[in-house]
Structure 1
Amino acid sequence: MHEAPYLQWALNLLIAQGLMGAFDTLYHHELTVDLPHRRSARLELSIHATRAVLYGLLFAGIAHLAFHGAWAFVVAGVVAVEVLLTLWDFVVEDRSRKLPASERVLHTVLAINGGALFGLYGMQLLQWSALPSALVGIDFGWRGWVLTLLAAGVAASGVRDGLATWRMAHQPTPSNPFSNLAHQRVLVTGGTGFIGEALVAQLLDAGHNVTIWARDPLRAAYLFDGRARCIRSLGALDPTEAFDAVINLAGAPVAGPRWSAHRQQQLLASRIGTTQALADWLAQAQHQPTV
């Protein structure tokens, strides 16, 4: 079979790549950011869908086949496409949203691990390329079956992202309830939450002036493509500033750690503290909002 001794290391790194990628998809893309339901993430999702399906084929192939002759170059080509898609994904992500620190660190580790595993597997492909062209069955034992499970999972993730992209492309644009209002100056807290994000997007699309008070103003600016003014503290607002409406949606996310008395206190404090600070600023504001 002409297997190089480092092939087993490549398989181990590929399993690690699959496990880290699964965590990234479930924790960051699904639970933290909920990419499949963000219209602004449509391009990113389409890249993920294409890359994941290719990864599924690659994982399944590596798990059970040796690629001799010309087939070695076919696999090398697929890997090259994967790398280009990943680089494109990095660019799109940085332009469309602010990645949490954990996601950026994980992406760095994935890139390093991917470089190592494809380098090792590439040396094996180089040896196989000298043989007559053929797809030869190969048994890697438990590693092969683990890679098969990972192949099914990553391919399913790609199909899900592809369906989400298709749904966004064919979904009718919802009517905007704020489009017929006179120009409004609106202050919003909690503008990056589930409800707040949709609300702010509609206000901006309707041409209104929106200021967002957010814990992470840079993330908020990314989220709305720089169309909204984003502040970290109400101290950034002058008492002479005027708002026609103030919408308070602030509060720590309900989804999170298990429910406990401490967790309940955190949720209450995040809402009461913000509301009190907002009331204090409004009390000294020279122009009171209508709503």
Structure 2
Amino acid sequence: MSVGLPLQSHLKRRATISPQKTSGKNVVNQYAVRQFIKCALIGGIGATLLSVAAHAEQCDERSAKMVSIAPPQPALHLPETPAGMDVDATGVVVNGAVAIGTFAAAAAAVWAALSERRKRKREDLVVGRLTAAGIASRLDIAADVMSSISAAFNDAMEIGVLTLENANNMRAGVESIPRCTFDEIKSMVPLRGDCAALIAAAQDRLHVAAGTLHVLSDPGISPGQKVICQGRCRDALRQSSLLFTRAKSICDTETSAVHAALNSADSTRV
């Protein structure tokens, strides 16, 4: 019994002390693990930084080698100056390109100017034809009247009976012919056959004929002046009749559509 009691008390004390020792060992082990993990993390971060720095340095070295080995190539390979020639080949190419660009710009400007000129000519021709269609009847009347007055004047000159009354009547007939305005004559310049010039010249002969007939109708005219005026009047009457007739034929040619329309209307009426 005496032996059993000490043994039990010893076992109790051991059972009481063992948890304390075990808990102390666990605390030490946990602290050591935390320190180990912290060291491992710091070491990993340091190794990573060193690896990145080393890789960057290697990339810089490789880039430098690549730049030194393979320099960048220009997009446009310009010729080099031949040996022994004091000429800038690159400058020649650049100047040539500038010259070509200048020539192209000048050609485009000339083409635009010519196109505008052709367009303006077409428009002027249209206006001239429209004007010719509007004065064709007046030209026909002028040609007929001048032809009749010219024939009557020649007859009076042959028989020598150009009286003052006849001269006044002829002058009135010449002045009654409808004239074309300057703008109308100008608009017919693009027409073929110099139609505008013919009309202007014919109307000039009208003024000459009217002036000479006015002088011939004066009772106080001298015989010498009368002969001169008679010659001028005869030429003016004949020439104006021919010029009006020629201008009328040109207007008829340029306005063939008008005659086609009139002929079509006549045929329909019949």
Relative to its length, the structure with more strand (as a share) is 1
Asked if Structure 1 and Structure 2 have the same fold, meaning a TM-score greater than 0.5 normalized by the shorter chain, the answer is no
TM-score by length of 1: 0.29
More helix by share: 2
- Over alpha carbons, which structure has the higher Rg? 2
